[in-house]
């Protein structure tokens, strides 16, 4: 992949001399950090460019892109080759998403693709690819490594530290520490535990008394009321804490509880990469991707703004959960359909569905399907409570095929976009399939 990146730098250097560059990136944390790294590198190299952040790509959008520009796609577009092939300009794709089989060995001539899934190397996030590109352009860009760490964490690549990720962590001077994955690990433990919803720890999350008892059991005392932060714990203390939590989450998903903590320097302060990643994600999902971008680029005004939006975001998650607990749900044997219409934003409906699926209130195997309006479309998110149950991707696929729409995701978390006109029909069909499945079991 490094060879490809070197070539990409050379080509963009040549092309960018005469033609302006249009950069299009994805709106999640990985996409935003990709955009921040890439645009900073272009700026430092004196290139003329413009930038746009999008939720996704479709035929119309790609059609509308001017061919006067060199087109660069970050953290997306691997699935859009059939539309990109018709663009009469040079196209660069820096992405890590899978390509469909038919395009794997026939990348269109006008497209230069850098994608680790096509190479013999570890798969890394979009921001990591952009960082390698930026570093190849100039070593001056090494200061952007912390953004690549956020992108890696945002896309959940933080489990395996391979060669490339290892290099990025070193460049960013990240402190890596094994521990409980409650964030921010820079906040006093009692607070971090009490406000943790991801992971949700039964009896601890949201319970002050539960937290204090847990810390007592783990032999962790406060110093005049102030508890240490997670990252300050010694190995011995961390072990005791892990044991105490594990005893409380019987049957729970423990492998998601312990892992690597990443501490990066940001605005000259040591920060938890998970927390920053969550903040960037929150801004984008609340429709402020430009604030998220400004934050990544170190702008102090945007930083203040971003922190406000992050608080709002968490509040809207809480109100969404409250709305769901009070509203009528379509419930059947082993499933629950929540039609939030315009009461919950389409960009957070998936997160909300995930949170419910982690709640101890629901039985393992319960299928949760949540719907929210997105202009003339409906965003559908399906999640499975617990780990075992039906294949949601297949299930949604079966319902959506006759109606029209495309299903993405995995067996235990899938989603799709359908037309608003099909609301009733979709729900009706969905119930039929869900009821039928139970009969078969
Ligand atoms: Mn990504």
pLDDT in tens, 12-53: 988 867 889 999 999 999 999 999 999 999 999 999 999 999
pTM over 0.75: yes
**262 DSSP assignment:** E
- The three state secondary structure string of 186-240 is CCEHHHHHHCCCCCCCCCCCCCHHHHHHHHHHCCCCCECCECCEHHHCCHHHHHH
Q: How far is the CA of 358 from the centre of ligand 1 (A)?
A: 23
Residue 423 CA, ligand 1 centroid: distance in Å:
30
Residue 166: pLDDT band by 50, 70, 90 thresholds? very high
- What distance in Å separates the CA atoms of residue 277 and residue 203, rounded to the nearest whole number? 26
Q: Report how far ligand 1's centroid is from the alpha carbon of 94 (Å).
A: 10
For residue 200, the CA-to-ligand 1 centroid distance in Å is: 24
- How far apart are the CA of 29 and the centre of ligand 1, in A? 8
Residue 328 C-alpha to ligand 1 middle, in angstroms? 35
Ligand 1 ion: nearby residues, β-carbon < 5 Å: 30, 75, 125-126, 155
Per-residue model confidence (pLDDT) at position 250: 56
Q: How far apart are the first and last CA of the chain?
A: 47
Q: d(Cα 202, Cα 185) in Å, to the nearest integer?
A: 19
Which residues are registered as beta bridge partners of 370?
338, 381
How many Å lie between the centroid of ligand 1 and the Cα of residue 232?
30
Q: How confident is the model at residue 264 (pLDDT cuts 50, 70, 90)?
A: very high
Domains and CATH numbers, the chain: 2-139 (3.90.1640.30), 175-318 (no CATH), 327-440 (3.10.310.40)
Q: Find the Cα–Cα–Cα–Cα dihedral 377, 341, 350, 334, rounded to 10°.
A: -110
CA dihedral 165, 170, 174, 180 (to 10 degrees): 50
C-alpha 425 – ligand 1 centre gap (Å): 33
d(Cα 80, Cα 122) in Å, to the nearest integer?
Answer: 23
**Mean pLDDT, rounded, of the chain:** 91
Structure tokens at 293: 């971008």
CA 260 to each of CA 51, 95, 249: distance values in angstroms, whole numbers, following the listed order: 33, 24, 20
* Residue 347: how many other CB atoms lie within 10 Å: 20
For the cut 60, the answer to whether the pLDDT of residue 439 exceeds it is no
Cα-to-chain-centroid distance, residue 376: 25
Task: Work out the pLDDT band at 174, boundaries 50, 70, 90.
Answer: very high
**Per residue in 186-231, pLDDT tens?**
999 999 998 887 777 777 877 899 899 999 999 999 899 899 999 9
Q: What is the pLDDT confidence band of residue 172, given thresholds at 50, 70 and 90?
A: very high
Paired residues of 264 in beta bridges: 271
| 406 vs 148, residue with greater confidence | 148
Say how many Å lie between the CA of residue 116 and the centre of ligand 1. Answer: 12
Please state the rounded mean pLDDT for residues 167-194. Answer: 93
Quick one: tokens of 255? 């492998």
| pLDDT for residue 124 is more than 90 | yes
By residue count, the chain amounts to: 441
Q: Are 5 and 115 in contact (CB under 8 A)?
A: no
Burial of 163 (0-12, 13-18, 19+ CB in 10 A): exposed
- Tell me the CA distances in angstroms from 285 to 82, 150, 196, 344, 346, one per residue in order: 28, 16, 20, 12, 9
Q: Is the pLDDT of residue 334 over 80?
A: yes
* Token couple for 324: 């769901």
């Amino acid at each position: 992949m490094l060879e490809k990146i070197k070539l990409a730098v050379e080509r963009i250097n040549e092309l960018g001399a005469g033609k302006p560059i249009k950069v299009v990136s994805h709106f999640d944390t990985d996409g935003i950090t990709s955009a921040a790294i890439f645009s900073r590198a272009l700026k430092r190299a004196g290139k003329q460019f413009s930038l746009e952040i999008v939720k996704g790509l479709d035929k119309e959008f790609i059609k509308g892109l001017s061919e006067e520009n060199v087109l660069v796609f970050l953290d997306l577009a691997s699935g859009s080759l059939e539309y990109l092939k018709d663009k009469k300009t040079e196209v660069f794709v820096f992405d890590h998403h899978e390509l469909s089989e038919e395009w794997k060995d026939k990348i269109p001539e006008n497209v230069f693709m850098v994608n680790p899934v096509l190479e013999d190397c570890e798969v890394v996030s979009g921001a990591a690819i952009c960082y390698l590109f930026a570093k190849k352009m100039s070593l001056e860009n090494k200061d952007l490594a912390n953004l690549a760490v956020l992108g890696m964490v945002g896309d959940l690549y933080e489990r395996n530290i391979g060669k490339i990720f290892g290099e990025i962590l070193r460049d960013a001077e990240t402190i890596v520490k094994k521990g409980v994955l409650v964030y921010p690990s820079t906040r006093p433990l009692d607070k971090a535990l009490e406000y943790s919803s991801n992971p949700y720890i039964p009896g601890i999350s949201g319970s002050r008394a539960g937290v204090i008892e847990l810390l007592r059991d783990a032999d962790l005392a406060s110093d005049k009321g102030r508890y240490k932060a997670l990252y300050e714990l010694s190995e011995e203390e961390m072990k005791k804490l892990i044991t105490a939590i594990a005893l409380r989450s019987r049957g729970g998903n423990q492998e998601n509880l312990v892992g690597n903590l990443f501490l990066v320097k940001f605005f000259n302060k040591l920060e938890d990469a998970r927390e920053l990643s969550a903040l960037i994600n929150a801004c984008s999902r609340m429709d402020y991707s430009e604030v998220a971008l400004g934050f990544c680029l170190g702008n102090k005004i945007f930083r203040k703004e971003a922190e406000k939006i992050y608080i709002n975001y968490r509040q809207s998650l809480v109100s969404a959960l409250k709305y769901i607990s009070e509203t009528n749900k379509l419930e059947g044997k082993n499933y629950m359909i929540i039609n939030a219409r315009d009461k919950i934003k389409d960009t957070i409906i998936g997160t909300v569905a995930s949170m419910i699926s982690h709640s101890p209130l629901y039985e393992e195997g319960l299928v949760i399907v949540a719907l929210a309006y997105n202009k003339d479309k409906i965003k559908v998110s399906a999640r499975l409570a617990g780990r075992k149950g039906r294949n949601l991707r297949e299930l949604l696929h079966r319902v959506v095929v006759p109606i029209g729409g495309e299903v993405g995701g995995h067996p235990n978390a899938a989603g799709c976009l359908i037309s608003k006109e099909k609301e009733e029909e979709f729900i009706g069909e969905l119930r039929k399939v869900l009821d039928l499945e139970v009969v078969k079991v």
